[in-house]
Amino acid sequence: MYKKSTILFLIIFILFFILPTTYMPLAEVELQPIIIEVEGDPNVHREYIETYHPFIEVVAVYEKLFNGLALLGSPKNLQRMEALEFIKNIHSVQRYEAIEWRKSTNHSETMIQPFDLNTTAYTGKGVKVGVIDTGIDYDHPDLKLNYISGFDLVDLDDDPMETVPEQGIPTAHGTHVAGIIAADGEIKGVAPDAEIYAYRALGPGGAGTSVQVLAAMERAMEDEVDVINLSLGNNVNIPDYPTSVAVNRASELGIPVVIANGNSGPDDWTVGSPATADKALSVGAATSPRIIPYLYESFENKVVQLYEMDGSPSWEISRSNEVVEVSEQNQSVKGKIALLQRGEIPFYELAQSAEKNGAIAAVIYNNEPGIFQGSLQNEQNPINIPVASISMEDGKWLKNHSEKKSLYMESAYWNQEVTIATFSSRGPVTMNWNIKPDVLAPGTGIWSTVPGGHEQMDGTSMAAPHVTGAVALIKEAHPDWTREQIIGALKTTAERLQEQDTSEPTIQGMGAIRPDKAIETTTIIHDPQLNFGKVDSYREELSLEITVENVSEDPQHYTFEYSKKKNGMYWNIPRAFTLEPNEIKTLPIELSVTTSRLEEGVHQGWLTLTKENEEDYYLPYIVVNKNADQPKTAGFEFSLKNFSEDAYEFRLYLTEPARRVEVDLYNPETLFHNRKLLAVQDLQEGLLQKEISKKEAGPGGFYLAIVTVYLEDGRYESSQSMIYME
């Protein structure tokens, strides 16, 4: 199925796609990778290409989840294939990375063992779990009992070991993920008897491409795994077509695909592909219960929330201390809490200066509205005083009050229950408005395996394998359940978080998973997330269906509670119904929207379904009235046109119609404007794709491209990206 690549192919892929900071002029890259979607049998087409196009390398054949091939060749040779009738579509190769994670700053008292989630009698015995990641240290004493098999899609052999230093930037991500799922040694995974099948799709530094990810998914299907974990992705908030097709196809074949939602929070619209795929079970990160520090001033009853920075000691101050702003004129902070403003100076240098001047702690306030996360990591010379970030608003309050008189703030603490991790990416998905994540799982302070030992890490990469382990438990408990029943049970029984700042569906999906409740449930709601899409006309009647299943041997009685009335939104939903034992019923959910009476933007909330004398189930909904605050562009690409050496191709997704799109080129060092590359008028929502000849594009080199979208209502939005032109 997989053909051994040439050394040149591997060198190009490592340099051009794998190393995160490598730029390689196009003039030096003679070979171009592409993915083609084909009609008919891709193996037949592979033979044709190898026979009649010998200078084109068939890198991989996809026949289970995506009907196509990955090819490598020069633009000149690829161009000869352009007229082949069996080619349906041509897709550029996308870069994927192990979703960034970080070493946790939590202390051992808040350390989370993966098995803590498992309060059931099940262990995942006999369930085959596919881990598509950076590989796995299968010699680790906590993993070697459960590791069954695997494949390396980077080096194309059957040894999926993590990258070691001699091969490049070493990795540990896949081993940590695998341990969360099924470690069975000093620590226990969620499903410690599950069988691990590891696929190394990400190489040195934890990076790879859609070529390897697709090939790994195909290999996992060949090995007949029961569930696939993908703690990887990119930052594009649209479905990457080939990978999303593969995820959806695997789901249609009955295999749950669990994907990390991304670590680009706390802003909305930050979920990245492939978690954006319709049928992906996308997972956000929930925090562990922990102690949260804050500053308190009793006279004005002022509370300042502290967000402890990575790499600093915990905030453990027991008395009231003076807060003093550090400036060029005032460096005297001995025995005090230093107040610093975020700016051009790195966080580490700000904190180090405060420590050298005798501060007992430091707070850094944002230079724009809202909160931020920061890191002070420096293993050679760590910071020895607690340092926290605060919002711009709180920082200005402290600044103003400290300038008037001596300001003393008491350090206080509260016990925080489970909530959303600030780094966890949020939805919805641009283009289709889907609610993502689907569910939450523990993602902070997770103790798991790494090559040579164990580490505590934070990230949605750690949350996803908790869900994968939970799927294994349900699969063992209910071996006859379908994918739809397994995922439906997890969603139906998830616990909705009700804190005001985390209550929206696009932040938490259905809520935090509860594997024990999912296994014991007598009710399954299939596809409970209600996406009504975007409305534009004066009045629209919208309708969706939900399917409710009674998996018990007793009749079940249900009642819908009407959601709070909102001006311009009117619901028509079944009031009450009964399901007989093992009965499934499909019910209409209707929503009437009068756009002129409803504020523009995203509207979301919850419908409540109550099972008589037992429990409530919460169904999240979303509807977009006319416009939203989503990014207006996504998926920017600028590269040599497929099959061409003489033209570039510009690709961009527009999330709403636009009057004009302009692309301007700037010198990346001086930021002086160089020239206008492109201007296009009157555009519709969807893919914007333009061909630009080398002559039209102008002189080559590295440029900062500023893409400006002028919307129909007079607003505009700009984004930037580095590009290289030959």
pLDDT in tens, 31-65: 888 888 999 999 999 999 999 888 899 999 999 99
**pLDDT band, very low/low/confident/very high, at 3 (cuts 50, 70, 90):** very low
pLDDT in tens, 580-606: 999 999 999 999 999 999 998 899 999
**pLDDT band, very low/low/confident/very high, at 163 (cuts 50, 70, 90):** very high
pLDDT in tens, 456-503: 899 999 999 999 999 999 999 999 999 999 999 999 999 999 876 668
Q: For residue 4, is pLDDT > 90?
A: no
CB-based contacts of 616, cutoff 8 Å, min separation 6: 608, 609, 610
DSSP string, 452-515: TEEEEEESHHHHHHHHHHHHHHHHHH-TT--HHHHHHHHHHT-B----GGG-SHHHHTT-B--H
Q: For residue 111, is pLDDT > 80?
A: no
Percent of the chain, pLDDT > 90?
56
Residue corresponding to tokens 């009407």: 562
Which pair of tokens denotes residue 540? 């629209």
E-assigned strand segments in 142-266:
147-152, 195-200, 207-209, 227-230, 232-233, 257-260
Highest mean pLDDT among 80-94, 285-299, 640-654: 285-299
What DSSP character marks residue 93?
Answer: P
pLDDT of residue 1: 43
pLDDT in tens, 7-30: 333 333 433 343 333 333 333 446
What DSSP character marks residue 259?
Answer: E
Q: Which residue has the higher pLDDT, 148 or 112?
A: 148
CB-based contacts of 487, cutoff 8 Å, min separation 6: 256, 281, 438, 471
**pLDDT band, very low/low/confident/very high, at 714 (cuts 50, 70, 90):** confident
Gyration radius from the chain CA atoms: 27
pLDDT of residue 658: 87
pLDDT of residue 2: 42
Q: For residue 5, is pLDDT > 50?
A: no
CB-based contacts of 498, cutoff 8 Å, min separation 6: none
**pLDDT band, very low/low/confident/very high, at 90 (cuts 50, 70, 90):** confident
The pLDDT mean for the chain works out to 87
Q: Residue 180, SS3?
A: helix
pLDDT of residue 136: 97
Q: Which domains does the chain have, with CATH numbers?
A: 7-93 (3.30.70.80), 97-288+420-516 (3.40.50.200), 297-404 (3.50.30.30), 522-625 (2.60.40.10), 633-725 (2.70.50.50)
pLDDT in tens, 425-468: 998 988 788 999 999 999 998 999 999 999 989 999 999 999 99
* Rounded mean pLDDT, 667-678: 85
Contact between 103 and 214 under an 8 Å Cβ cutoff? The reply is no
